């Protein structure tokens, strides 16, 4: 799928397009999702227009699949992910998770769905409560949803820490005692504690150095293989997205301007925004990267 600036025919694509590995109904259906913020001016703060952070986004996501949402800073990626999970109210559209509509639900109704959809935030420092020990951070959701308590809870936390590459004794320490990569592992352990079907990964490696990024990405892939988790992977780094994702959706000014299988988007980008993102990836041949950024797409 490409917007009018691209050369591909819209009939060739559909928001419901799935990867060849996917089967059955989608776990997540997003249709015409909009998140608009009022622009207020004057002493009376009257509405003078709208900031359209997300403007008519549609796609499907299947179990075990990773869909990359990429775009420059400020294009609406994080707002899109938060609106899907109803952490940010949506202005309009439709979001179905496992066939259940999420928009307009009460807090109690959403809480019943929370165990099956989780998020890994961008900042591994700010997303962890510094006053709680790691065991309390990971086990909090298990306790609230009455899944495990006492010795069973401690055993479950130890198992989650082990799965995420940390030692069981880490449960008794505080977040500030860990490195950035270890904190993100803690955040991932918290996200998978309830065995969710969907995880929104909001730039989970952007605050980490390259070697730690690789470890976190490999951990996410291993967990996906083991638990058949669907990832909505938000990033601006096309190299990371190429490593992680089955399909890629390019977001610009709140709209999807290109959506296709990973290899086609990386190997044959059609929209100028996609080519700019690819050109920003460090290359041993800067001239080739610059040519890729400015090259016109082939004729339709």
Instruction: Determine how β-strand 247-252 pairs with β-strand 46-61.
Output: unpaired
Residue 70 lies in a domain: yes
The band of 11, judged by pLDDT with boundaries at 50, 70 and 90, is very low
**Which domain range does residue 222 map to?**
10-127+196-294
pLDDT at 2 over 70: no
Say if residues 238 and 277 touch (Cβ distance below 8 Å): yes
In a domain, 116, yes or no: yes
Tell me the chain's radius of gyration from C-alpha atoms: 20
Has residue 186 been placed in a domain? no
Span 171-195, pLDDT tens digits: 999 999 999 899 999 999 999 999 9
Residue 248 lies in a domain: yes
The alpha carbon dihedral of 207, 139, 244, 249 has a sign of negative
The beta strands (E) that lie in 154-261 are given as 198-202, 230-235, 247-252, 255-261
Q: Is the dihedral of CA 243, 249, 250, 252 positive or negative?
A: negative
pLDDT surpassing 70 at residue 20: no
3 part of a folded domain:
no
pLDDT at 296 over 70: no
Q: Quick check: is 162 in a domain?
A: no
Rounded Cα distance between 275 and 295, Å, is 8
Other beta carbons within 10 Å of 9: 10
Among 209, 210, 218, 222, residue whose Cα is nearest residue 243: 218
Q: Which two tokens stand for residue 213?
A: 């990024």
Does 245 fall in a domain? Answer: yes
Q: Which helix (H) or strand (E) holds 133?
A: none
Residue 47: its pLDDT value, please?
Answer: 79
CATH of residue 89's domain is 3.40.50.300
Tell me the average pLDDT across 276-281.
88
The tally of domains found in the chain comes to 1
Residue 222's nearest CA partner among 194, 183, 188, 190 is 188
Residue 7 has pLDDT above 60, yes or no: no
């Amino acid at each position: 799928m490409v917007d009018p600036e691209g050369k591909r025919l819209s009939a060739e694509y559909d928001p419901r397009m799935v990867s060849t590995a996917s089967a059955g109904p989608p776990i997540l259906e997003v249709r015409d999702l909009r998140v608009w913020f009022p622009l207020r001016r004057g002493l009376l703060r009257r509405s003078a227009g709208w900031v359209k952070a997300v403007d008519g986004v549609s796609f499907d996501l299947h179990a075990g699949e990773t869909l990359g949402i990429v775009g420059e800073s400020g294009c609406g990626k994080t707002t899109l992910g938060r609106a899907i999970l109803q952490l940010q109210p949506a202005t309009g559209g439709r979001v179905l998770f496992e066939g259940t509509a999420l928009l307009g639900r009460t807090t109690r109704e959403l809480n019943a769905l929370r165990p099956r959809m989780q998020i890994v935030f961008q900042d591994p420092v700010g997303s962890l409560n510094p006053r709680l020990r790691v065991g309390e951070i990971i086990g909090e959701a298990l306790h609230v949803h009455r899944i495990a308590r006492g010795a069973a809870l401690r055993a479950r936390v130890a198992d989650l820490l082990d799965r995420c590459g940390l030692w069981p004794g880490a449960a008794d320490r505080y977040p500030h005692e860990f490195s950035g990569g270890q904190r993100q592992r803690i955040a991932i352990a918290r996200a998978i504690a309830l065995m969710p079907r969907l995880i929104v990964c909001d730039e989970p490696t952007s605050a980490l150095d390259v070697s730690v990024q690789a470890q976190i990405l490999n951990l996410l892939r291993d967990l996906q293989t083991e638990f058949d988790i669907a990832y909505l992977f938000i990033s601006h780094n096309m190299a990371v997205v190429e490593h992680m994702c089955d399909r890629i959706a390019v977001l610009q000014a709140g709209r999807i301007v290109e959506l296709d299988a990973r290899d086609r988007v990386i190997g044959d980008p059609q929209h100028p925004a996609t080519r700019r993102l690819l050109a920003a990836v460090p290359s041993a041949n800067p001239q080739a990267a610059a040519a890729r950024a400015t090259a016109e797409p082939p004729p339709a």
